[in-house]
């Protein structure tokens, strides 16, 4: 291992160089959001003198344990947690060259409440090397610190969406500095999984944000309506209540120690959340200033005109949330209809009951938990992704995929939420400590898994380079349209398909 040096607008950085890829860690893109900057829009980072060591991660955003620990494992952050968390991890083929490589900016998942772009689970060295691209992982504010609705606070901007504003600030930093790492600031592609994909869908609704990137990849994206201000206020009131505060003393929030704030965040979740509904409690707020539309209304109207998208899901998304959930294990048809009523077009009880009946006919003999998992996979992930693709396809190319791979026929989680990540990053070894994916991954054919990973790295890199994911290692992949309805199914035998979602769309429309 040796060093790599770059000069940014704030000062010089020294990163680690291994096998032709330089990695720079803990790179600040905004000032620490502490004191008066807690629940305030991000401010520019300070400059530094001399050489800054960029071989170690900065603190991860403060957070509670992830609800997907049983899938991804308990995370031990290399440099702990802390509010001084607005940093980047940058992986770049080295030497940097003339600043013309495509740039992939990654927004991690975790329901806007957990995770970090600096996690080893998102180690980007293989993706950077195999795709000849620059990869940027972003840490952003999470949970109450990122998404509490606090318009009463001084200098709080719109009073919401601070984690989202961090995304935008990170993209500004990339625009201004990524050429030093060999990246082309005019050819930036966003890619994000789960909540990260949902953030990208939202960024595509923001006229100022879309100026900062050229393409977008949404993996298992949490595309959903933003919280209404009334619902967000209830969450804030529950946080205040847990802290012994009220609206008249909201300014005291900026002085609450992080540990107590996380305890209050948990208490509010317990008060508001429902066990059969995995919708995040802390998420973007329709504040009328930062956010004025809900996806996909903005893209349908053309806010992201010309931005090609690649969007897809795993086949069995919600198995990761539902296995081991007692409320799901005992659910019946009436409970499914009740839980489903607000979802994807099923606005009335009668509509929800009709959807449940249709799925029961589609999946004869399925146990209630399996039936509900199929319903919610489509309601929460597949259908919103289809609708987003359809909206954006009016203004650019849209490429649809589904990730179907699972190691064995009886793997309990199937092709669950998160399972495609080690294939995209090409970093199976970094997942060996996670309880479920390694159980799945180690049960598979490693040579076949590597081939599938190479297919996906090639597609992600080709898309970032030109807006077309086709390359020699995959079947011909056609853009999606309402008329032709093409998809690519990533599996042990990756194949192109047409009309994959016709049946489920017929149920929900």
Q: For residues 414 and 262, give the distance between their C-alpha atoms in angstroms, rounded to a whole number.
A: 33
Residue 432 CA, chain-centre distance (Å), reads: 21
Q: For residues 105 and 111, give the distance between their C-alpha atoms in angstroms, rounded to a whole number.
A: 18
Q: For residues 383 and 395, give the distance between their C-alpha atoms in angstroms, rounded to a whole number.
A: 19
Task: Name the active-site residue from 169, 238, 317, 390.
Answer: 317
Rounded alpha-carbon distances, angstroms, from residue 226 to 155, 191, 304, 314, 352: 23, 20, 18, 23, 22
Q: Residue for token digits 């209404």? A: 228
- 134-138/183-193 β-pairing: unpaired
Task: Name the active-site residue from 66, 124, 194, 220.
Answer: 194
Task: Name the active-site residue from 149, 167, 226, 417.
Answer: 417
**Phi and psi for 192 in degrees, rounded to 5?**
-155, 150
Q: Which uninterrupted H or E stretch holds 258?
A: helix 258-272
Question: Residue by residue, what is the 3-state secondary structure of 325-385?
Answer: CHHHHCCCHHHHHHHHCCCCCCCCHHHHHHHHHHHHHHCCCCCHHHHHHHHHHHHHHHHHH
Q: For residues 220 and 445, give the distance between their C-alpha atoms in angstroms, rounded to a whole number.
A: 24
Catalytic annotation on 317? yes
- End-to-end Cα spacing for the chain: 56
Catalytic annotation on 167? no
Q: For residues 237 and 216, give the distance between their C-alpha atoms in angstroms, rounded to a whole number.
A: 36
Look up residue 91 and give its two tokens.
Answer: 């992986």
Exposure on the CB side of residue 495, measured as CA atoms within 13 A: 7
- CA proximity to 424, closest of 310, 280, 500, 319: 310
Q: Which uninterrupted H or E stretch holds 3?
A: strand 2-7
* Residues assigned a catalytic role: 194, 317, 417
């Amino acid at each position: 291992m040796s060093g790599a040096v770059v000069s940014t607008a704030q000062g010089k950085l020294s990163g680690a160089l291994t096998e032709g890829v330089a990695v720079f860690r803990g790179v600040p893109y905004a000032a620490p959001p502490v004191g008066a900057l807690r629940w305030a829009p991000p401010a520019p980072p300070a400059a530094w003198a001399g050489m800054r060591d960029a071989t170690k991660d900065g603190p991860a955003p403060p957070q509670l344990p992830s609800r997907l620990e049983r899938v991804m494992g308990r995370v031990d952050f290399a440099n702990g947690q802390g509010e001084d968390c607005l940093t980047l991890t940058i992986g770049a083929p080295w030497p940097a060259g003339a600043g013309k490589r495509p740039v992939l900016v990654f927004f991690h998942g975790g329901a806007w409440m957990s995770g970090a772009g600096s996690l080893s689970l998102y180690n980007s060295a293989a993706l950077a090397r195999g795709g000849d691209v620059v990869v940027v992982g972003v840490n952003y504010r999470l949970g109450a610190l990122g998404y509490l609705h606090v318009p009463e606070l001084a200098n709080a901007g719109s009073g919401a969406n601070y984690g989202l504003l961090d995304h935008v600030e990170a993209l500004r930093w990339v625009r201004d500095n990524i050429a030093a790492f060999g990246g082309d600031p005019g050819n930036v592609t966003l890619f994000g999984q789960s909540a990260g994909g949902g953030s990208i869908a939202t960024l595509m609704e923001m006229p100022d944000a879309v100026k900062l990137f050229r393409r977008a990849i949404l993996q298992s994206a949490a595309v959903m309506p933003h919280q209404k201000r009334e619902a967000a206020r209830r969450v804030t009131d529950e946080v205040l209540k847990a802290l012994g505060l009220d609206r008249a003393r909201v300014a005291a929030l900026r002085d609450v120690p992080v540990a107590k704030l996380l305890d209050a965040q948990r208490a509010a979740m317990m008060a508001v959340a429902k066990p059969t509904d995995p919708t995040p409690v802390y998420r973007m707020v329709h504040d009328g200033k930062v956010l004025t539309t809900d996806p996909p209304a903005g893209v349908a109207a053309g806010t992201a005109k010309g931005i090609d998208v690649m969007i897809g899901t795993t086949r069995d998304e919600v198995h990761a949330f539902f296995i081991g959930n007692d409320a799901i294990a005992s659910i019946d048809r009436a409970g499914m209809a009740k839980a489903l009523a607000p979802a994807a077009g099923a606005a009335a009880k009668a509509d929800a009951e009709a959807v449940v009946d249709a799925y029961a006919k589609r999946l004869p003999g399925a146990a209630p938990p399996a039936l509900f998992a199929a319903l919610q996979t489509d309601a929460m992930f597949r259908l919103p992704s289809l609708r987003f693709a359809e909206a954006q396809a009016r203004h650019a190319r849209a490429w649809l995929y589904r990730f179907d791979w699972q190691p064995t026929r009886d793997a309990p989680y199937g092709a669950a939420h998160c399972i495609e990540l080690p294939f995209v990053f090409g970093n199976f070894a970094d997942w060996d400590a996670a309880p479920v994916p390694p159980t799945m991954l180690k049960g598979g054919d490693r040579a076949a898994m590597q081939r599938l990973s190479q297919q996906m790295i090639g597609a992600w890199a080709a898309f970032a380079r030109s807006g077309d994911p086709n390359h020699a290692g995959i079947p011909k992949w056609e853009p999606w349209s309402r008329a032709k309805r093409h998809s690519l199914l990533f599996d042990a035998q990756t194949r192109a398909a047409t009309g994959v979602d016709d049946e489920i769309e017929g149920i929900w429309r």
